[in-house]
Amino acid sequence: MTAPQHSERFSSIFALFMIFCVLVWVWGLAFFMFWPWQKGGDWLPDYPLAVQCSNGTDCIVPVGELAQARSEGKVLSLRPQATRGELDYRQLYVRWMPWGEDMEVKTSAWNFQTSVRYRIDPESQQPVLVEYQELNAKIFFYAILAALGSLAVLHLYRRQRS
């Protein structure tokens, strides 16, 4: 019996690596889609909310600066004028959309995404955090571990068949 040629060894390693990449993608997408929402909690003071500014346009104001912006007359409404929209804010991408009667705001950068669902309290006219979801590099690491486990299972299944 002869030793495998370098091209055969390379093609088997390359195929294994491509299967691993596909498994990381599939597991990552699954974790991304089904990552749990956390109920309630406290607002982060620098979390950006989309509001309607005094000039009638939509703008971004951090939750911690909301009371001061309202007292200075910079904010007309806690609901933005556009039902859906997106703005850039301090190297973040902020997107908002309706969520039933309430609002959902997604803030993302290259390495994370935080989604917040909130309602506006009719009495105090303050945003009330309903639930939030934080997606970050932890999902990618879990996807790598799940892909390695899937590769191990596939390898054991292949060895058992032959």
Q: What is this structure's pTM? A: 0.75
Distance (Å, whole) CA 6 – CA 4: 7
pLDDT for residue 156 is more than 80: yes
Residue pLDDT, tens place only, 70-104: 888 888 888 888 888 898 888 889 999 988 888 89
pLDDT at 57 over 80: yes
Query: 13: left (phi > 0), else alpha (psi -120 to 50), else beta?
Result: alpha
